[in-house]
Structure 1
Amino acid sequence: MPVTGPSLLTRFYARPILLLVLVTLFWAGNTIAGRLAIGEVSPLAVVFLRWVMVSGLMVVLYGRQVKAEWPMLKQHLPVMALMGTLGFTAFNALFYVAAHSTTALNLGILQGSMPMFVLLGALVLLRAPVRAVQVLGVLVTMAGVALIASQGDLSRLATLEVNPGDGLMILACLFYSVYAVLLRNRPAVSGMVFFTVLSVIAALVSLPVFAIELVQGTEQWPTAKGWLVVGYIALFPSFLSQIFFMRGVELIGPERAGVFINLVPIFSSFLAVALLGEPFHLYHAAALALVLFGIALSERKPRPAMG
């Protein structure tokens, strides 16, 4: 009988760089979707609906496996509850609210700080060694983010004004970084089962979060266009991105995977040009070159010791 090699899906799932690039592309699409959602659905309604949709799908598909692996899962439930709350519900809620009260310039810079939080978190929480070249890679990628966020004029960074939205975004980045670091030591269950439980936790936590809008009377259920936006957010940034990111962290660790987050503002700019008709400038190309170079530095493997 002929010997067959690994399937296309297996090979795809073994390529962390490809997976993480797709993650950041989908997250960049979330930025565009967030802009399109304005006036079509309220921010916390998006958070609630996305996780209800995703968790419902995951329970239908993997509910039996969750039940079978529950003895292992329940031992890690407190940490998983923290991860689902911080990484899924809190990050998204703060992101959508912050986007309504701060500038795109500020958001771009603050999102670029996330790899630094991941590196610091891996060092503090996991005692993970961090090489100088990884730090350099993060700094280079952050330079690219700063370049694109300032629209090619770094002197604009000196005029930044701190507002509540900036504080919310910093907190959101910190929350997701804690989630990314904790992913390294997730329970020894399948990724789909793990994600199912996290999505259910996110959906449950998002209910009282959405209640804030209900109490304030600021909720807006989706229009027809709003449902399309929520559908995209549920499938790509919420479902596929989280699965791919977990796999990427599993393959290369949180500190290396975190560097790829700097691609989000780059892809966001390209999508804005293609979908929103915004102009493309030379600083976009320069920023992309810096980000890719920074990722290459971070991915550089140490030389084996001589002797």
Structure 2
Amino acid sequence: MSSPPAHRLTPATLALLLIPPLMWAGNAVVGRLMQGVVPPVTLNFLRWVLALLMLLPVAGWVLRPGSGLWAHWRRFALLGLLGVGMYNSLQYMALKTSTPLNVTLVASSIPVWMLIMGRVLYGVAITRRAAVGAFMSLCGVVVVIARGDLGGLLSVQLVPGDLLVLLAALAWAWYSWLLARPPANEPAAIKADWAAFLLAQMVFGLVWSGAFTAAEWITLPALPAGQSAIQWGWPLVAGLLFVAVGPSLLAYRSWGAAVARVGPATASVFSNLTPLFAALMSATLLREPPQLYHLAGFVLIVGGILVSSRR
């Protein structure tokens, strides 16, 4: 039997493939712009509160007692911890000391961590080609973290953001494996409805994020009288609306539709455009132009992913 033909890259399909990396890059840039405006973990909490309120009218049925959510609360609590509570909190925290380009480049190594995590947690074999690709991508991450100074790698001073975004990448890799290996009895109605599936994670994710936000406020340094940790105003409102609508809802929906049309392999290639979009936005909005080592790291990371994903 012949395999089905690949879906043509029509303008509509290209738009679906380009929206997620554009939104993810924008998320990193806005996270950088919000430094000093709102604490990073609080930004993540407010983002998901707004996203949840937007989804309630279309997917609120998932919160009803008979929806199947509460019978599987442990799974959705773990998904909420990794995808809602941890991933973007760690990214926003990383942006205090790292640049959007560094953060998106290191985060683009997630397929490599998925490969390693699949072997460690699920016993999925790593082929020789996949191992070569993983090594190339890890070399790219090292180039970015070392800021291109490989000669002084042993004495390189890591900024906290580099380590935080690595933790974020590990959290997202585990989250992705949990999505790829759903239990056989997962409620079909929730699984088939992207909004309900995301809302089910948000409900528990906001509990985790709320706890992390409380811890953040307890540990915030004392401010002079008359100063607030949150600078309320239109910049904050605009930033919150963007991260709640763009990276949280629009990118999630576009990614699901794009994967359904062209498959995960093709879609993953487009996801690697995120650092390029972040470089353009950073140079334009933040006056942080990319360096030569960013290009070298990008080539190694993407090259490794392409090598490991070839059939």
CA contact (8 A) 2:145 2:158 kept: no
Equivalent in 192, 196, 199 of residue 196 of structure 1: 199
Decide which of 15, 32, 45 is 1:35's aligned counterpart: 32
CA offsets 1:17-63 (integer angstroms, 9 cap, x no match): x7565433322221111111012222122111100001111111111
Q: Shift in Å at residue 81 of structure 1? A: 0.6
| 1:265 and 2:275 matched | yes
Aligned positions of 1:98-177 closer than 5 A: 98-101=94-97, 107=103, 110-148=106-144, 150=146, 152-155=148-151, 157-162=153-158, 165-177=161-173
Once residues 300 and 87 of structure 1 are traced to their aligned partners in structure 2, the CA distance between those partners, rounded to angstroms, is 27
Contact 2:87 2:172 in 1 (8 A): yes
TM, length-normalised to structure 2: 0.74
Report if aligned partners of 1:136, 1:297 keep a CA contact under 8 Å in 2.
yes
Q: TM-score, normalised on structure 1?
A: 0.75
In 2, the alpha carbon distance for the partners of 1:263 and 1:139 equals 20
Q: Which residue of 1 aligns with 2:225?
A: none
Q: Which runs of 5+ in 2 are unaligned?
A: 1-7, 222-228
Maintained 8 Å contact 1:106/1:160: no
What is the Cα deviation at residue 65 of structure 1?
A: 5.5
Output the amino acid matched with 2:167. Answer: L
Q: Distance in 2 between matches of 1:34 and 1:25?
A: 14
* TM-aligned CA deviation for residue 101 of structure 1: 4.6
Work out the CA distance in 2 between the residues paired with 1:90 and 1:158. Answer: 29
Q: Return the alpha-carbon distance in structure 2 between the equivalents of residues 194 and 170 of structure 1.
A: 26
Is the partner of 1:38 in helix, strand or coil? coil
Q: Secondary structure at the match of 1:130?
A: coil
Query: 1:44 and 2:41 equivalent?
Result: yes
Among candidates 49, 54, 57, match of residue 51 of structure 2: 54
Shift of 1:225: 0.5
Q: 1:185 aligns with which of 175, 181, 184?
A: 181
1:238 aligned partner: 248
Distance in 2 (CA, whole Å) between partners of 1:92 and 1:12 is 28
How many aligned positions are there?
290
Cα-Cα RMSD = 3.8
Question: How many percent of aligned residue pairs carry the same amino acid?
Answer: 30
147 and 66 in structure 1: CA distance in 2 versus 1, 3 angstrom threshold: same
Q: Is the 8 A contact 1:113 1:142 kept in 2?
A: yes
Q: Which amino acid counterpart does residue 121 of structure 2 have in structure 1?
A: L
Q: Which residue of 2 aligns with 1:84?
A: 80
| Superposed CA offset, 1:181-240 (max 9, x none) | 101133332222111111222223222222224434564154311111111111122223
| CA contact 1:104–1:149 (8 Å) conserved in 2 | no
Match for 1:300: what amino acid?
R
Residue in structure 2 matched with residue 5 of structure 1 by the alignment: none
Q: Which moved more, 1:97-106 or 1:73-82?
A: 97-106
The more displaced of 32-41 and 127-136 is 127-136
Q: For each residue in 1:276-299, what CA deviation from the matched residue of structure 2 results, as whole angstroms up to 9, or x when unmatched?
A: 333355555555444443343233
Match in the other structure for 1:24: 21
Report the AA paired with residue 241 of structure 2: G
In structure 1, list runs of 5 or more residues that go unmatched: 1-7, 302-307
